[in-house]
Amino acid sequence: MSTRIRLPSISFVVARSYPHNIIGRDNKLPWHQRTDLKRFKEITFGHPVIMGRSTFDSIGRPLPGRANVVVSKRPPNDPHVNIWNRTDTALLWSQSAEDAMYLADIIALSTVKSEFFVIGGEQMYKLYGRLCNRIHLTQIFTPMKPREGDAIFGYDADGRQWKTLEEVEIPAGPQDDFPSRYTVLDRKFKTVRYVELEDFYTGGADRRKWIASQLEKIETSISQGVPPHPPKQLQMFEEIESTSEGS
């Protein structure tokens, strides 16, 4: 009998302009919203976060207290750019969305987290859109107009597929450029991901042993300067689960 392990849920954290859905201009946030940055930290702290190369470059450093997984077709050649710390700040480079998801899955499982976050940019939201179960959406009420080259999050949550868990209007604080609206959207029919183990672990600790083996594999890959890849036994599949619970 095979062992099935449920993998973490995927959530988005997005700040975009209203009504034009701009999330970035010239590889930077086109506003300063201290209130939103504080909430972003509270939501993501202690969890793995996945981002694209441009988003990482715009931040300029790994986000403290989080496992930062950066997706780039051309990661730096120097293996020392990888920072591995299981309990605090980590920086890991990945060459594909699938490999990045594997890293985030294992790190989240090892730290007993039930979700990880995709934080940008535009292409990352598109790549993981089908698997996302929750969206933390901040809409910034700014008069800026769209222009060529702007990064956009144009996803419109269909009320037949998504429900609103929370929505609050936020006036501009002393360190905010504009007022905003914060909304938490939850998918009504969750995408649930599992891994079925081909190896048989004895002693009733299958989950812990498998997670430990994957962490060791990741550490070995990093020490050898080789990007970690999912093992062949990691055959992920999706089930659509109707539930009223959060992700």
Beta strands in 96-205 (DSSP E): 115-118, 132-141, 151-152, 162-170, 180-187, 189-197
Tokens of 52: 């694209």
pTM of the model: 0.92
- Residue 244: per-residue pLDDT: 40
Q: Does residue 169 sit within a domain? A: yes
Tell me which residues of the chain have a pLDDT lower than 50: 243-247
Q: Does residue 125 sit within a domain? A: yes
- Residue 1: per-residue pLDDT: 58
Q: Please name which of 116, 160, 149 lies closest in space to residue 134, comparing C-alpha atoms.
A: 116
Q: Does residue 11 sit within a domain? A: yes
Q: Please name which of 143, 149, 155, 129 lies closest in space to residue 24, comparing C-alpha atoms.
A: 149
- Residue 186: per-residue pLDDT: 97
Domain count, the chain: 1
CATH number at residue 37: 3.40.430.10
pLDDT digits 0-9 by tens, 177-219 = 999 999 999 999 999 888 877 665 555 578 888 899 899 999 9
Q: Please name which of 127, 136, 129 lies closest in space to residue 47, comparing C-alpha atoms.
A: 136
Instruction: Report residue 214: phi and psi, to 5°.
Output: -70, -40
Contact 175, 34 (CB under 8 A): yes
Q: Does residue 71 sit within a domain? A: yes
Range of 157's domain? 3-242
Q: Does residue 16 sit within a domain? A: yes
Give the position of tokens 């988003």: 55
- Residue 226: per-residue pLDDT: 80
Instruction: Report residue 115: phi and psi, to 5°.
Output: -155, 160
Q: Does residue 140 sit within a domain? A: yes
Q: Does residue 247 sit within a domain? A: no
Q: Are strands 180-187 and 162-170 parallel, antiparallel or unpaired?
A: antiparallel
Beta strands in 179-245 (DSSP E): 180-187, 189-197, 237-242
Distances from the Cα of 119 to the Cαs of 11, 23, 128, in angstroms? 9, 11, 11
- Residue 130: per-residue pLDDT: 92
In whole angstroms, give the CA distance from residue 91 to residue 110: 16
- Residue 4: per-residue pLDDT: 81
- Residue 247: per-residue pLDDT: 34
In whole angstroms, give the CA distance from residue 152 to residue 170: 22
